[in-house]
A and B are shown apart, each in its own frame.
Chain A
């Protein structure tokens, strides 16, 4: 323990010291360089440590992953595109891709629209802070913990025994003649059950961002519309939504990426069994259970490629916003 503390202390103190030392040395050296060149050189030298970190911790692993995806399980034998063939033909992989598509649609749709709904409705009530805090609370819980919580919620006991799962107990109390369901086992509904758990976690995030954007809409605009005779639906549809457009796009794309990366909840609640497999969980299994580095890398590359367009879209959006400012 003590050696770890020493290491942590060393990092906390040492890293800033080294960086400040680096900058001072760079500045000292730059003073020998003539004016024009100095201006051109300085930003690169200041950036160099960060760029080096990016290269070592981001670019290199990404390239190594692409490289490994063309090799066999132990990265020794060249197999060409065989691993990619596996990704797009294996039954379980195809199922994962289908499930990720379900996640993309339902998870993104539900979390963004619920977030928007809560943001708009909470805006109109005096207890807004309390309502928003409650919705935001799950964000503070780790996904693994959320998975465990929902596993208990969906718990199933055979009919005739006391139901310990909240969902079954509640439905049996409310709906006469309701038979308890194994929510996590019956396909394809179990995918939705998992998505609901994820939506529970992420709605708060969508709500907070959208709510902030909502507060940014000038109130004169809304008042003017109301004075002109617009009803609340028109105010929402014709003014709020267009004004929130770019924010919704940012939140939506963030959720898309989250859906593509879905892992923790699936791993904890079903481990991909019963037809709930997703791409990221498959990657984890290939990597750490089966130890097939080639296939795991190929899955990682496919996932990365799938996320790139979304990232580009987000970047472009961001640039446009910067430009209009």
Chain B
């Protein structure tokens, strides 16, 4: 695991505009993996051979391009695959729906296990010699640690390279590779940073237009707060990963306030936390979370509320808040809490506004990365299947997910909102991946904690940043 932390230094991560099919499904954030049982495989050899896929790929350019893509190509091999991931609730249901056709056609049983403490569970199982067959990886940073420790199988022999290269943009592939080896592949993506609002309520206070710049957004917040209402809903709770929704805020602000270059230096560990650029981002966020009048319930509520339910007060009558910042996956939770809500009619989003006009048009994405810890025929078949447009379209259609696979067309998206998210990703000038997921785990952990400490005591910003600097000094060294 030495050196694990700088996985993507190599890759510039501009996830190019090519990402056509962006259904971001990023549930809470991190990818999960599915461990497969050791091969009880009846005919192990069967799966290894890329079925009909590759031939079909080139000429027809049909969606069946990747190896396991077309259902007919799946061979009946039986056995089982263990999968470990972060998804629970409706996201877990969507994942299970996604692999259902695979199970039906191959007879391979998927043994899915979800946990919010993915990194710890995965480390324990890998160290204990009992890794899942396939697992969602917490992020490119941790993937690199596992890859350098030799725990991950190189996927270049597993996935049909020509199909994958054709269907995924190079940037997505780079994020999944370490030292030239493809050790992870994204199976879904999420747009970070949309700001959600209640379509029936916000115009009453905003006058109709959505903010295009940070000044306009601040002015809108002030305007809502003036008569005593609360503009924002924020919730940072997420079990062992509490704090991560705040990291998305800081990242969104850094990207638009300090620009993509500083953003890269920051997650790469060469720009300190106490540098003016990063400190300014915390202060900007502090205008919202540090002000009791800005957030429903104040700081106590920010810390005590789970991210899944944080946005619900948008829809109470009268609304207890008007704006909510969260990844594109959150619509799933809105609808689950209030089944009558309709996208566009009841809720919608505007993109996180530009802060410095020089960096206008930047967006942040997240994604769920999968890796293979045990090389079994079933695990190979599953990974191949998960990268196909057919498989990813299943989750996209269920909502809450964007697909990193270019072959999943915009028409697949179930509603206008997810199409807008996908569109936002495609039309962005600058795309950056979630910085905290790219940082070494020690840094990422400290970031989560720093977020909570800052919200609890906004006056302690300098000491929070000094702590983060201290962690930064040795987290990148290993």
Say if A and B assemble together.
Answer: yes
Contact call B320/A161, Cβ cutoff below 8 A: yes
B301 touches A158 (CB 8 A): yes
* Cβ contact of B449, chosen from A73, A158, A161, A273, cutoff 8 A: A273
Choose from B123, B304, B313, B478 the contact partner of A184 (Cβ within 8 Å): B304
> Could you tell me the distance between the alpha carbons of A204 and B54 in the complex, rounded to whole angstroms?
66
**In the assembled complex, A142 has its CB within 8 A of some CB on chain B:** no
> Quick check: is A219 within 8 A (CB to CB) of the other chain?
no
Say which residue of A74, A160, A161, A274 sits within 8 Å of B2 (CB atoms): A74
Q: Which residues of B contact A184 (CB under 8 A)?
A: 304
4 shortest interchain CB distances as A-B pairs: A158-B297, A288-B120, A182-B300, A290-B442
The minimal Cβ–Cβ distance linking A124 to chain B, given in whole angstroms, is: 42
11 interchain pairs, CB-CB under 8 A: A76-B2, A161-B313, A182-B304, A184-B304, A185-B303, A185-B304, A271-B239, A273-B242, A274-B303, A289-B120, A291-B145
CB <8 Å contact, A285 and B445:
yes
Q: Cα distance A187–B300 when bound, in Å?
A: 11
B456 CB-CB contact with A under 8 Å: yes
The answer on a CB contact under 8 Å between A73 and B2 is yes
Whether, in the assembled complex, A156 has its beta carbon less than 8 Å from a beta carbon of chain B, the answer is: yes
* Known contacts A158-B296, A273-B242, A273-B449, A291 near B1 by CB under 8 Å: yes
Residue contact A73 to B1, C-beta cutoff 8 Å = yes
Cβ contacts under 8 Å, A91 to chain B: 467
B124 interfacial contact with A, CB 8 Å: yes
Task: Please state if A185 and B478 are interface contacts (CB–CB under 8 Å).
Answer: no
Q: Which residues does chain A contribute within 8 Å of B239, judged by CB atoms? A: 271
CB contacts (< 8 Å) of A290 on chain B: these are 441-442, 445
Residues of chain A within 8 A of B226, CB atoms compared = none
How many Å lie between the Cα of A251 and that of B414 in the bound state? 62
Question: From A160, which residue of chain B is reached at the shortest CB distance?
Answer: B320
Given A158-B300, A271-B242, 8 other A-B residues pairs in contact with their CB atoms under 8 A: A73-B1, A74-B478, A161-B320, A184-B304, A273-B242, A288-B119, A289-B445, A291-B145
Contact pattern, B 85-124, Cβ under 8 Å of A = 1, otherwise 0? 0000000000000000000000000000000000111011
For chain A, give the interface size range. 20 to 34
B300 engages A284 (CB within 8 Å) = no
Q: Say yes or no for B31: interface residue by CB 8 A criterion.
A: no
Which residues in window 1-56 of B have CB below 8 A to A?
A: 1-2
Q: Is A72 an interface residue (CB 8 A)?
A: yes
CB atoms of A186 and B300 under 8 A apart: yes
Residue B240 interfacial (CB < 8 Å): yes
Main secondary structure of the interface of A (DSSP, over half): loop
Q: Are A156 and B300 in contact (CB under 8 A)?
A: yes
- For the complex formed, measure the closest distance between the CB of A184 and the CB atoms of chain B, giving whole angstroms: 7
Query: Which residues 85-130 in A have Cβ within 8 Å of B in the complex?
Result: 91
Contact present for A73 and B478 (CB under 8 Å)? yes
- Which of B442-472 touch A at CB < 8 Å? 442, 445, 449, 452, 456, 467
- Let me know if A267 is at the binding interface, CB within 8 A: yes
Q: Specify the chain A residue showing the minimal Cβ separation from B448.
A: A273
Instruction: State how many angstroms separate the Cβ of B474 from the closest Cβ of chain A.
Output: 9
In angstroms, Cα B123 to Cα A287, docked, is: 9
Report the bound CA distance from A227 to B114 in whole Å.
66
A273 / chain B contacts, CB cutoff of 8 Å: 242-243, 449, 452
- Mark interface residues in A158-198 (1 if CB within 8 Å of B CB, else 0): 11110000000000000000000110111100000000000
In the complex, which residues of chain B have a beta carbon less than 8 angstroms from the beta carbon of A156? Answer: 300-301, 304
Q: Kindly provide the distance from the CB of A161 to the nearest chain B CB, expressed in whole angstroms.
A: 7
Number of interface residues of B (CB under 8 A): 29
Q: Mark out the residues of chain B between 288 and 302 whose CB falls within 8 Å of any chain A CB in the assembled complex.
A: 296-298, 300-301
Chain A residues near B243: list those with CB within 8 A. Answer: 273
Q: Contacts of B445 on A, CB cut-off 8 Å? A: 285, 289-290
- Once the chains are docked, how many angstroms separate the CA of A156 from the CA of B299? 12
Shortest beta-carbon distance, A91 to chain B, in Å? 6
Complex Cα gap A156–B304 (Å)? 6
CB proximity to B under 8 Å, residues A212-238:
none
Pair A267/B240 contact, Cβ less than 8 Å: yes
Q: Report the nearest B residue to A158, measured CB to CB.
A: B297
Determine the chain B residues whose CB is within 8 A of the CB of A287 once the complex forms.
Answer: 123
B228 vs chain A, min Cβ distance (A): 12
Q: With A and B bound together, what is the CA distance between A155 and B304 in angstroms?
A: 8
Residues of chain B with a CB closer than 8 A to A160's CB = 320
Are A74 and B1 in touch, CB under 8 angstroms? yes
B117 to chain A, nearest CB (A): 8
By the criterion CB–CB under 8 Å, are A291 and B123 in contact?
yes
Chain A: minimal CB distance from B439 (Å):
12
Residue ID in chain B nearest A284 by CB atoms: B120
Interface residue from B242, B297, B441, B452 paired with A291 (Cβ < 8 Å)? B441
Closest residue of chain B to A154 (Cβ to Cβ) is: B304
Residues of chain A within 8 A (CB-CB) of B120 are: 284, 288-289
**Complex contact B298–A158 (CB within 8 A):** yes
- The complex places the Cα of A273 from the Cα of B464 at a distance, in Å, of 13
Residues of A within 8 A of B123 (CB): 287-289, 291
Closest to A286 in B: B442
> How close is A304's CB to chain B, nearest CB, in angstroms?
20
Q: How far is B442's CA from A155's CA once the two chains are assembled, in angstroms?
A: 29
Which chain A residues border B119 with CB–CB below 8 Å?
A: 288-289
User: Within the assembled complex, what's the spacing in Å between the Cα atoms of A4 and B449?
Assistant: 40
| Partner of B456 from A161, A181, A185, A289 at Cβ < 8 Å | A185
Instruction: Tell me the A140-162 residues at the B interface (CB within 8 Å).
Output: 155-161
Shortest Cβ distance from B123 into A: residue = A288
Chain A residue nearest in CB terms to B38: A3
- Distance in angstroms from B181 CB to nearest chain A CB is 19
Q: B residues 102-150 with Cβ under 8 Å of A? A: 119-121, 123-124, 145
Find out whether the CB atom of A292 lies under 8 angstroms from the CB atom of B320.
no
When C-beta atoms are compared, the residue in chain A nearest to B119 turns out to be: A289
Instruction: List residues of chain A with CB within 8 A of the CB of B304.
Output: 155-157, 182, 184-185
Mark out the residues of chain B between 155 and 195 whose CB falls within 8 Å of any chain A CB in the assembled complex.
none
Which chain A residue has the least Cβ–Cβ distance from B3? A74
- Among residues of A, the one whose C-beta sits closest to the C-beta of B313 is A161
Nearest chain A residue, comparing its CB with the CB of B443: A290
Alpha-carbon separation in the docked complex, A184 to B305 (Å): 12
A271 contacts which of B121, B240, B313 (Cβ < 8 Å)?
Answer: B240
Instruction: State in angstroms the CA–CA spacing of A73 and B475 once bound together.
Output: 10
Residue picked from A72, A287, A288, most chain B C-beta under 10 Å: A288
Cβ contacts under 8 Å, B121 to chain A = 288
Residues of B within 8 A of A158 (CB): 296-298, 300-301, 320
What's the least CB distance linking A1 to chain B, in Å?
10
Residues of A within 8 A of B452 (CB): 273-274
Whether A185 lies near B300 (C-beta < 8 A) is yes
Q: Chain A residues near B313 (CB, 8 Å)?
A: 161
A221–B213 alpha-carbon span in the complex (Å): 84
A186 and B456 CA atoms in complex are apart in Å by 8
Closest CB of chain A to B28's CB: distance in Å? Answer: 15
Residues of chain A lying within 8 A (CB to CB) of residue B297: 157-159, 161
Which residue from A161, A288, A292 sits with its C-beta under 8 Å from B124?
A288
**In the complex, which residues of chain A have a beta carbon less than 8 angstroms from the beta carbon of B467?**
91
Q: A74-B2, A158-B298, A290-B441 are in contact. Are A182 and B303 (CB under 8 A)?
A: yes
Least CB distance from A158 to B in Å reads 3
- Chain B residues contacting A187 (CB-CB under 8 Å) are 456
For the complex formed, measure the closest distance between the CB of A33 and the CB atoms of chain B, giving whole angstroms: 42
